[in-house]
Structure 1
Amino acid sequence: MRLRPSTSHWGAFSAALDEDGNLEVVPHPADPAPSPLLGNLPSALTDPTRVAAPAIRRGWLERGPGPDPRRGDDEFVEVGWDQALDLLAAELLRVRTEHGNEAIYGGSYGWSSAGRFHHAQSQLHRFLNAFGGFTSSRNTYSTGTSAVVLPHIVGNAGDVLRNGSSWPTIVANTELLVAFGGVPEKNVFVTPGGVTRHHTPGFLAQLAERNVEVALVSPLRADLPGQLDARWYPIRPATDTALMLALAHTLVTEGLHDQHFLDRYCTGYAQFERYLLGSDDGVPKDAAWAGDLTGIPPAHIVDLARRMAGRRTFITVTWSLQRIEHGEQPVWAAIALAAMLGQIGLPGGGFGHGYGSMGDTGDIGPDFRVPHLPQGTNPVKQFIPVARIADMLLNPGMRYQYDGAERTYPDIRLVYWAGGNPFHHHQDLNRLRRAFTRPDTVVVHDPFWTASARHADIVLPSTTALEREDFGAGRRDTHLAAMHRIAEPRRRARDDYTILAGLAARLGIEDAFTEGRTAREWLHHLYGTWRNNLADKGIEVPSFPDFWEAGGFQLPNDESDRTLWADFRADPVTHRLATPSGKIEITSARVASFGYDDCPGHPVWLEPVEWLGGERASRFPLVLIANQPHTRLHSQLDVGAVSQAAKVAGREAVRLHPGDAARRDIGEGDLVRVFNDRGACLAGAVLTTDLRPGVVQLPTGAWFDPRGSLCVHGNPNVLTADLPSSRLSQGCTGQHVLVEIERFTGEPPGISVKRPPVISRAREM
């Protein structure tokens, strides 16, 4: 076997097929901590759920486009590529002629490949732009709330999300790491676009070796590696803002805040302080007040505040904290708290967002853009916040608020999705199923029969990254990796570029889309353009043939760690922030002017409507945390061996405290029903004391397998609420939901997502 190089979102590797067609995968030799997720690749490559040929839903094929409640339950008919592309081209023309390009929604929020050319979202958006444009989405499910609120606070979200302190600086200088949401090691194995060297596990080990003091604020002890001897604050979910406010209150009342920093570098602190002290509402946000909400003893809150003021303290907030109702508040409150400590811009001090949420946060690799496919310009200016897709499909013409503006949902007639699975990312999947019955046509490119493919009208089988040539590198990656073809395309699968080029030829836009290049010629062209740009900067890069033969290129790296925050601290006039004041806006007059009661002008405590108090909480007394899985990336390769090995009772594993289990007569390994008034799912019980009583944890990403409102495979998004974080961001709130659990009795339904849907074959293929 000749091992060939490639990369993935969870790590670079080499691979080859043996004489029996079995895939062998070897991690990159430079990787100090290879991801176990590479183990999903071999079995998934030839899994029975691979889409074998173009398939058309029978109802659409026989009756034509239109809304259809059978979408998701109908059988499919395999057809030839010419017939499939002819039908799709005709439908695209019909929709454009009758309804305009705004009626086409180009979804493709996805992670399908680490490759920069065969990046499905870029391919599809380039095609649709050449066709006249499309309604697009804005922001992400991961950081959709922070991406909107951070510019109001610090001027640029990227300065917080991408350019914070490096792990070496934290390891060398931080004395107290206060981790709201922890630093979940399972997440740091993933970086969009690829990762060659997983550095973060080593830095976490160095924190342990240096005996850096760590405060873990999370309902889950597993949100921090066990090697770190952290003080665990098992907070009640969604109350982190209350804890932050109480810490800030202690700083004020004990004179531990840095007034000089607040005066020189911030604006709006006085108004925030009045809120902390309860000057206007009569409710001081003190430790006793927060203790009742958070479940953290008031004495522990006061002690933590004092220790934060007495040490070089770094506050980090995971992305999970803003994926909730009012998710703007913990991000804003943490920045205000860090400002009150006065350590923003000092080595090892200040604030960070996303450490432990993604592998590149705090990484030390190079920071410049690698070759990528230009997408062109979208002539259609209509967009939606990404997590509002079900609202859009169900409510065309409805008005809504977003970041201070009133917008209107378009009337979408055709949904085109490539490289993603909305039936993983989205909440309240039974509602999303209803929404997907509304368009005239749904088109999906996918290598597998995921739930999104099963809810489509036209399914086009796309190749996996192992079945095509590309190059890849993630943010802060140390290498640009050559991605050789390791296996031939499965059955009749084609790469997205070939599929879209065939469509473009039928629609008269082939030259605009392909520019006359094959996929291999595009790789040469994009690499050559990138190489020339670096040469202009004095950086020598090998020729494409040399790069391809070597299997990659180690990117040049400047390991200096001078962040914007250090420059801002040195001179806030020269290095003013891109906020109206040029400073950190603890109170934002602009946000206040929007008049949103669900996101006022400074950090506040807002009770989540979904679960705190009331009749709903009495019926569903457990708080479920729907976090990222440790066995796969989102829902990708759920059919892989690593993901399948972690199933319990044949379903996704749900973790609950032994006390909560005993009260429900649930034992280790039992099949259980997790439910609320939106839906239910089956899962396998795992008992552990490493989470707060009253909290259960069920990761996202089990392939959705519905029987009515029940998912028999364990997808928690049948339970989560399709509610926005606020009118400001319209962000995703899928992290928490109220549920009840009971032991399942009787014969459980079989799991159907492990095999293709019902498929017949057209006479002419």
Structure 2
Amino acid sequence: KTLLKRFLNGIGGFTDQVNTYSNAAGTVILPYVVGNAEAIYVGSSWDGLIRDSELIVMFGGAPLKNLQVAGGGPGMHMGEEWLRRAKEAGIEFVNIAPLRDDAADFLGAEWIHPRPNTDTALMLGMAHTLAEEGLHDPSFLKRYCTGYDRFESYLMGGGDGQPKDADWAASITNVGAGRIRALARRMAASRTMIMTNWSLQRADHGEQPFWMTITLAAMLGQIGLPGSGFGFGYGSMCGMGGPRERIATPRMHAGRNPTGSFIPVARISDMLLNPGGWYEYNGEARTFPDIRLVYWCGGNPFHHHQDINRLLRAWRRPETIVVHEPWWTATARHADIVLPATTTLERNDIGASPKDRFILAMEKAIEPIGEARNDFDIFVDLAGRLGTREAFDEGLGEMDWLRRIYEDAREQAAERLVDYPGFNAFWEKGHVEIPAPVEPYVMHADFRADPAGKALNTPSGKIEIFSETIDGFGYEDCPGHPAWLEPIEWLGGDGATNYPLHMISNQPATRLHGQMDSAGISRKSKIKGREPVRLHPADAARRGISEGDIVRIFNGRGEILAGAVLTDRVRTGVIQISTGAWYDPVTPGRVGALDRHGNPNVLTPDKGTSRLGQGPIALSALVEVERFEGELPEITIFRAPGIMADAK
């Protein structure tokens, strides 16, 4: 994707996407509260947590499958080991999630399973207990925070007359009030670390659980102390909390986009369907551009975007769609021009993650297959035809660029007194290992030690429990302090009458997103060729569904087939189906066609988290499930489409 942006910037610019589907809402809200979004990617290190924590409360758990993957590719797979060491050190765990196995069995975690999307209400109930029983830390709130008084007024019922106490929270979450109070007291009595996964902010009003996590940690008064505080994403990907010097890794730069045009990443269908339409984002009133050409590399919107039927309608609007792909994914099948691109085995590259201690030399294993070409070479030739080759490649080839970006990173590392070997030695050895820090990293320890000298990058220099800036935007869907806002779809809402099951579409264990769904390990996990869906035996019994049945999952946005797996490791009222099954409609190109394979994004709503963050809300989806009757349609997505060689 960096190469694509560099190419488009060189020919005059383009409309970019900002933030990610992984954590868009969190990335926007955190700078207002703590001055930057660092906590999404860098948290207190596990070695320190293991030494000093007593209690770890995990909103969203820490699924081991998530700890095997990371952007850029991890060289160290330490997630499970850190968790095991924490357990051996005597740390207690609480898993707050609709899935029991979001926490590994060896942790012995207490499982609390609220209704999905009600975590903010649960945190508010705990916060009320802390305040009412004097278990909060007023001195910390006064010295290091601003706006707590405004929040406390809301917490105690100011404005709406409803105290956000444990009984109120119980009515929303279906977690007993006594259990809510007990957890709050336990957190106040312990050195407590609150870990909130990215998944919580991929829901309607997803900014709120992140903001409320920080507020709850602030009330405990332990932010900046060893073994405590808050963090995001410890259970979302490999490397979070791994001890690592904060130094540069090799990267290519896309250059400057002269247009300055962008949309929030998950608003692509809105943009294509509403050229010239007005929307709000992060305090700005913006206008969607009129897009005539879509150029897509390094992604698969027919996997990761919400409400695929709506995307299908939107995809018809541009005049031309160009895609680079090694595989015949659904996105490639919906393109006008498909340029066959090499896989990672057919090109030279460098792998590195800012959370990992290894830089990897990814030496080409085989020559390109068929007509496939390296993305770099494709753009070099296109830039040459458009007269911008020199700006794109600067006269350098593939290996020259790898050498340059590595040596740039090497120079930056040297400034931090870290010695990387020269490029030739690196390439021959195959990797560089970045040394671990001598001391554990404690997030916000410097701020706690010197709040004036190490002030946060917020207007007040403090943690903003109430934000005057956000309040000034006037967003009813994201007010000036964390609050319970009813999701567009949840089990306590009107929509549950027709669609009484909440669908959790989490990350798969047998592939990375949609990558390699056609490979053996993923296909072996299928049931009669369909993606597995897990549901509680009680929910299955009410619908006459047995283990291994093919079921139809549906709502007002679409319908898919899946294979039933019955388990009590899923909360009642919830189904779980992983993302990544390649979209395979029985009638390709027809909006509303049954997806025979089981892509849950056929069913998810395409709406922003709020006018502030405009992130995706895939985890706010209600559905119904029934046993599928009739002839089972054949899976066809893994067959290459017919090629009309003589088409004119």
Deviation at 1:691, TM superposition (A): 1.2
Deviation at 1:615, TM superposition (A): 4.3
Q: What's 2:185 paired with? A: 306
Map Cα deviations across residues 648-695 of structure 1 (whole Å, 9 max, x no partner): 121100000001001111111110000001001000000000011110
Deviation at 1:146, TM superposition (A): 0.5
1:153 aligns with 2:37: no
Distance in 2 between residues matched to 1:570 and 1:344, nearest whole Å = 11
Specify the SS of the correspondent of 2:359: strand
Map Cα deviations across residues 208-252 of structure 1 (whole Å, 9 max, x no partner): 222311111111001111111111101110000000000000001
Deviation at 1:613, TM superposition (A): 4.4
Do 1:151 and 1:157's aligned partners in 2 also have CA atoms closer than 8 Å? yes
Considering only aligned residues, what root-mean-square deviation do their CA atoms show, in Å?
1.4
Map Cα deviations across residues 388-419 of structure 1 (whole Å, 9 max, x no partner): 00000000011001011100000000000011
Specify the SS of the correspondent of 2:263: strand
Q: What's 2:502 paired with? A: 623
Specify the SS of the correspondent of 2:410: helix
Of residues 547, 551, 565, the one that matches 2:444 is 565
Taking structure 1 as the reference length, the TM-score comes to 0.83
Distance in 2 between residues matched to 1:412 and 1:156, nearest whole Å = 32
Q: What's 1:695 paired with? A: 574
Deviation at 1:614, TM superposition (A): 5.0
Q: What's 1:29 paired with? A: none
1:731 aligns with 2:610: no
1:330 aligns with 2:216: no
Distance 1:399 1:144, change over 3 A: same
1:650 aligns with 2:529: yes
Residue identity matched to 1:653: P
Q: What's 1:193 paired with? A: 72
**How is 1:426-437 mapped onto 2 (pairs within 5 angstroms)?**
426-437=305-316
1:395 aligns with 2:274: yes
Q: What's 1:740 paired with? A: 624
1:578 aligns with 2:462: no
1:474 aligns with 2:353: yes
Deviation at 1:560, TM superposition (A): 2.7
Distance in 2 between residues matched to 1:716 and 1:574, nearest whole Å = 49
Distance in 2 between residues matched to 1:422 and 1:587, nearest whole Å = 36
Do 1:365 and 1:559's aligned partners in 2 also have CA atoms closer than 8 Å? no
Distance in 2 between residues matched to 1:194 and 1:366, nearest whole Å = 17
Deviation at 1:525, TM superposition (A): 2.6
Do 1:276 and 1:285's aligned partners in 2 also have CA atoms closer than 8 Å? yes
**How is 1:203-282 mapped onto 2 (pairs within 5 angstroms)?**
203-282=82-161
Residue identity matched to 2:543: R
Distance in 2 between residues matched to 1:551 and 1:590, nearest whole Å = 48
1:753 aligns with 2:632: no
Distance in 1 between residues matched to 2:290 and 2:327, nearest whole Å = 29
Map Cα deviations across residues 300-339 of structure 1 (whole Å, 9 max, x no partner): 0111111011000111110000000011111111110100
Deviation at 1:473, TM superposition (A): 1.3
Distance in 1 between residues matched to 2:438 and 2:336, nearest whole Å = 50
Specify the SS of the correspondent of 2:623: strand
Q: What's 1:202 paired with? A: 81
Residue identity matched to 1:281: D
Do 1:626 and 1:736's aligned partners in 2 also have CA atoms closer than 8 Å? no
1:715 aligns with 2:595: no
Residue identity matched to 2:162: V
Q: What's 2:320 paired with? A: 441
Do 1:427 and 1:720's aligned partners in 2 also have CA atoms closer than 8 Å? yes
Specify the SS of the correspondent of 2:562: strand
Q: What's 2:20 paired with? A: 140
Q: What's 1:297 paired with? A: 176
Moved more, 722-731 or 602-611: 602-611
**How is 1:306-455 mapped onto 2 (pairs within 5 angstroms)?**
306-455=185-334
Distance in 1 between residues matched to 2:467 and 2:249, nearest whole Å = 36
Map Cα deviations across residues 67-108 of structure 1 (whole Å, 9 max, x no partner): xxxxxxxxxxxxxxxxxxxxxxxxxxxxxxxxxxxxxxxxxx
Of residues 413, 431, 436, the one that matches 1:552 is 431
Deviation at 1:696, TM superposition (A): 0.3
Runs of 4+ in 1 over 6 A off after TM superposition: none
**How is 1:72-111 mapped onto 2 (pairs within 5 angstroms)?**
none
Residue identity matched to 1:272: F
Distance in 2 between residues matched to 1:657 and 1:434, nearest whole Å = 35
Distance in 1 between residues matched to 2:23 and 2:519, nearest whole Å = 27
The alignment-based identity, stated in percent, is 55
Of residues 672, 684, 688, the one that matches 2:563 is 684
Q: What's 1:130 paired with? A: 10
Do 1:649 and 1:670's aligned partners in 2 also have CA atoms closer than 8 Å? no
Residue identity matched to 1:685: A
Specify the SS of the correspondent of 1:760: coil
Q: What's 1:164 paired with? A: 43
Specify the SS of the correspondent of 2:21: coil
Distance 1:338 1:528, change over 3 A: closer
Do 1:366 and 1:559's aligned partners in 2 also have CA atoms closer than 8 Å? no
Distance in 1 between residues matched to 2:41 and 2:620, nearest whole Å = 26
Distance in 2 between residues matched to 1:613 and 1:763, nearest whole Å = 54
Moved more, 517-526 or 241-250: 517-526
Do 1:172 and 1:348's aligned partners in 2 also have CA atoms closer than 8 Å? yes
Map Cα deviations across residues 90-134 of structure 1 (whole Å, 9 max, x no partner): xxxxxxxxxxxxxxxxxxxxxxxxxxxxxxx11111111111111
Deviation at 1:612, TM superposition (A): 4.6
Residue identity matched to 1:734: A
Moved more, 243-252 or 356-365: 356-365
Specify the SS of the correspondent of 1:736: coil
Q: What's 1:599 paired with? A: 478
Of residues 489, 492, 507, the one that matches 2:368 is 489
Distance in 2 between residues matched to 1:763 and 1:303, nearest whole Å = 70
Residue identity matched to 2:22: S
Do 2:204 and 2:617's aligned partners in 1 also have CA atoms closer than 8 Å? yes
Query: Runs of 5+ in structure 1 lacking a partner?
Result: 1-120
Distance in 2 between residues matched to 1:608 and 1:532, nearest whole Å = 48
Aligned residues: 643
Query: Runs of 5+ in structure 2 lacking a partner?
Result: none
Deviation at 1:527, TM superposition (A): 2.4
**How is 1:486-525 mapped onto 2 (pairs within 5 angstroms)?**
486-525=365-404
Q: What's 1:96 paired with? A: none
Do 1:345 and 1:565's aligned partners in 2 also have CA atoms closer than 8 Å? yes
Map Cα deviations across residues 554-611 of structure 1 (whole Å, 9 max, x no partner): 2233243344500010110001001000000000011011111100000111111223
Specify the SS of the correspondent of 1:452: helix
Residue identity matched to 1:739: V
Do 2:58 and 2:194's aligned partners in 1 also have CA atoms closer than 8 Å? yes
Map Cα deviations across residues 324-361 of structure 1 (whole Å, 9 max, x no partner): 00111111111101000000000011111111101121
Distance in 1 between residues matched to 2:533 and 2:549, nearest whole Å = 10
